Structure 1
């Protein structure tokens, strides 16, 4: 049998595939709320049985929190094709505020909208619909008798609550879970008809700063002028974080920051990204980052330093003429390439301390320190997947970056020693984490066909 037979099977079975997804969506597997612990167990059991029905070995594995689902199979052609690990998560976000939903969140349905047919319900896009595109592709290949590559499945139940059990589980089961490359489905299309493979994920470093001055809040009429003001000190320090061109001034900050290759820059330019529309959608007109860098470069391949919050003194209603005893700020750094978050933390703290005047002290509290993830796209699997996606969608697929951080890709690299291909079919308007979450039927259908094409190439 051929790939065409697989794709025809996917087309014919779309109604049944949709019914299976709706059944999974009806399980309220909210991981962060202990009241739904049993529902998480039910969702894991459902997935185990579904994988077993396809002839895969699968079982539910206990953790201190919600269970993992682990499965194995494929490698049917005996030619030693690529071994892939497929990762998704079956847990979902809470549904609050419930009054903003147009229907019960765990009573999903297919709806006709002005933009096409969608599957509406909590978890439709994040991540049950995405996860099931892969499972349905495997189902179709099995039914058509087309060989699969060797596959390890890993479905997590705590992604939406910080993945507290994930790293210990990966470390304890590393030998079982190692593969040639990981496939992660928890991402989106670049644009309506343009798929992408995310190959760059920024790291994240957080710092909370408290600057203390006088021993108590002071009356500004008595002490204004001679007394040091921690808010003024903090504001001056934060203002030195960037120079006039938007570059970050922390010593050594750009160590490990690579430049784009010409090939990748050309791919990004060919995407036709509209800088003005992107900024205009949030009421802005000018890019404010590093001079000479496109918006896509700034959010995908350049590091940042941002002040996320600043407070001190009296901030309530009315007015209180007080000199505060302390001032606070939260600062985050998005990291790229091989930037070392620990070295940057040390350098930033020394920079702050060097600017403290007499009578002031500083206290730091760190919030995470994860390095960026940069995939090795010279692995032939990446180009095979990009070509397969390009065959399915109207526009050619591209290697893209992501402005945020997806820790699982970093864990697969640091613990299991493998790169990840992040391929998903969500859309910006899917309202994940919000009321009325949806997943386009087009994404579900073509996503399944896309995975079949990719698996066929990798086998």
Structure 2
């Protein structure tokens, strides 16, 4: 019997006890966005510290200007990697409460189909159930071998659902303590119920708000129409010019740093079988609107975008008002890939807009943050080991996917700690995170524990 096999056996035997522990953690309403739950957030942090100490970690609650962090350390054999595992113990609010089938903080195990059970409750999938899969893997290792396979540092934060305002200062202040060979991040998902996934890329983000100003007041469209500049019309022309007829962004320099995805990765994505009709059909659409000639997965995972998130101007109330507005504004977001520079994208966009504003009008800009994209090397040895370990556990081989959204912590780890991150999680698209009736598959919780044990074993070798 290998050193891994008894650990997996221990996880199987201890599943019921691990469910009890998760239920205890879910029972704590650690809602970070509502100040009324500040004490509950601290209680969740203290619960995790106590649990990690029970396993043998040196763990403590670390105060911040907001909700506390949990930091824990455990030594490993000489010559093995040092990994930093990240998760968050805070959860989203539960409103509207009347939409829940059960008490959101009373976790239940329900059979939803023959042979398929789910765990219900706020935080079961995002992120308490996910982070506890790793903790349980560590617990089983300690129980069987009295040691962990490698050196492990754990960081749990309590403000992920409210923008992580304390995280960057904390990383800066404790960079030396937290720095490891690489990070493990569990706040991600699988391709489907049987296919595990490693997220190798995250798109970056730039947010901009622009306001075009013309006359010094709203004008009567009969008295001034045809003579006075209309900021809504100016804004519409600017936004329309951002894309060409093939869906490409026309801003000069926008594609600087954008690389083509390796052909073997594109073939792997193609083998997943997701068509544009299937992907868009769920929302009542069927025709991709991005760059022509690219698959839907390439568009959402590996290509940059410019999207308009809101337009405001003129009279928008009930009825009709014949007015030429004094100003109009738009909110614009850019999703970035590969080596695109957020600052250069912002500057290029502002220059693009200014060139299209009439001389007697003006434009103001308000930035809404920016972060670079994250791209793991496809030939990383850590990636290969994790992929093989996951493939040994699940019915189907692991796939390397990307994420269209952003996880700021991954960029922060790179910026402040100089670490790449391995993103492995066991959530599913239908877990209803941030919504009423959140759930987590029992198979995700159980096989997630076994998966982390396999990954840690593989990384240690």
Give the TM-score of the pair, scaled to structure 1. 0.98
- 1:406-436 alpha-carbon deviations (Å, 9 max, x no partner): 0000011111111000100001111111111
- 1:217-236 alpha-carbon deviations (Å, 9 max, x no partner): 11111111112111011101
* 8 Å Cα contact 1:231-1:326 kept in structure 2: yes
Runs of 4+, deviation exceeding 4 Å: none
What residue in structure 2 maps to residue 140 of structure 1? 140
What residue in structure 1 maps to residue 303 of structure 2? 302
1:103 has 2:110 as partner = no
- 1:315-338 alpha-carbon deviations (Å, 9 max, x no partner): 111111111111111110000111
* 8 Å Cα contact 1:376-1:419 kept in structure 2: no
* Equivalent runs, 1:287-326 vs 2, <5 Å: 287-326=288-327
Distance in structure 1 (CA, Å) of the matches to 2:169 and 2:411: 14
What residue in structure 2 maps to residue 118 of structure 1? 118
Distance in structure 2 (CA, Å) of the matches to 1:147 and 1:255: 44
* 8 Å Cα contact 1:216-1:325 kept in structure 2: yes
1:183 counterpart SS class = strand
* 8 Å Cα contact 2:374-2:411 kept in structure 1: yes
1:215 counterpart SS class = coil
What residue in structure 2 maps to residue 205 of structure 1? 206
1:85 has 2:64 as partner = no
1:428 counterpart SS class = coil
Distance in structure 2 (CA, Å) of the matches to 1:141 and 1:53: 13
Distance in structure 1 (CA, Å) of the matches to 2:411 and 2:377: 13
Distance in structure 2 (CA, Å) of the matches to 1:253 and 1:167: 28
- Deviation for aligned residue 1:103: 1.5
* 8 Å Cα contact 2:119-2:440 kept in structure 1: yes
Give the superposed CA RMSD.
Answer: 1.1
1:72 counterpart SS class = strand
Distance in structure 1 (CA, Å) of the matches to 2:172 and 2:264: 36
Distance in structure 2 (CA, Å) of the matches to 1:384 and 1:270: 22
Distance in structure 2 (CA, Å) of the matches to 1:147 and 1:101: 40
What residue in structure 1 maps to residue 27 of structure 2? 26
- 1:363-399 alpha-carbon deviations (Å, 9 max, x no partner): 1111101111112343311110010001111111122
2:430 counterpart SS class = helix
1:430 counterpart SS class = coil
* Aligned residue-pair number: 457
Distance in structure 1 (CA, Å) of the matches to 2:410 and 2:53: 27
What residue in structure 2 maps to residue 250 of structure 1? 251
Distance in structure 2 (CA, Å) of the matches to 1:231 and 1:310: 9
* 8 Å Cα contact 2:33-2:162 kept in structure 1: yes
Distance in structure 2 (CA, Å) of the matches to 1:20 and 1:186: 19
Distance in structure 2 (CA, Å) of the matches to 1:122 and 1:327: 40
* 8 Å Cα contact 2:202-2:406 kept in structure 1: yes
Distance in structure 2 (CA, Å) of the matches to 1:148 and 1:61: 26
Distance in structure 2 (CA, Å) of the matches to 1:21 and 1:147: 21
* 8 Å Cα contact 1:147-1:456 kept in structure 2: no
What residue in structure 2 maps to residue 129 of structure 1? 129
- Deviation for aligned residue 1:6: 1.2
1:132 counterpart SS class = helix
Distance in structure 2 (CA, Å) of the matches to 1:49 and 1:456: 25
- Deviation for aligned residue 1:191: 1.5
Distance in structure 1 (CA, Å) of the matches to 2:256 and 2:359: 32
Of 245-254 and 210-219, more deviation after overlay is shown by: 210-219
Give the TM-score of the pair, scaled to structure 2. 0.97
- Deviation for aligned residue 1:449: 0.7
Of 423-432 and 213-222, more deviation after overlay is shown by: 213-222
Distance in structure 2 (CA, Å) of the matches to 1:274 and 1:453: 33
- 1:110-163 alpha-carbon deviations (Å, 9 max, x no partner): 112137211111101000000000001111111121742110000111111110
Distance in structure 2 (CA, Å) of the matches to 1:184 and 1:418: 12
What residue in structure 2 maps to residue 331 of structure 1? 332
Distance in structure 2 (CA, Å) of the matches to 1:147 and 1:127: 23
What residue in structure 2 maps to residue 230 of structure 1? 231
What residue in structure 1 maps to residue 48 of structure 2? 47
Distance in structure 2 (CA, Å) of the matches to 1:264 and 1:74: 36
Distance in structure 1 (CA, Å) of the matches to 2:148 and 2:225: 78
What residue in structure 1 maps to residue 154 of structure 2? 153
* 8 Å Cα contact 1:3-1:453 kept in structure 2: yes
1:280 has 2:257 as partner = no
- Deviation for aligned residue 1:88: 0.3
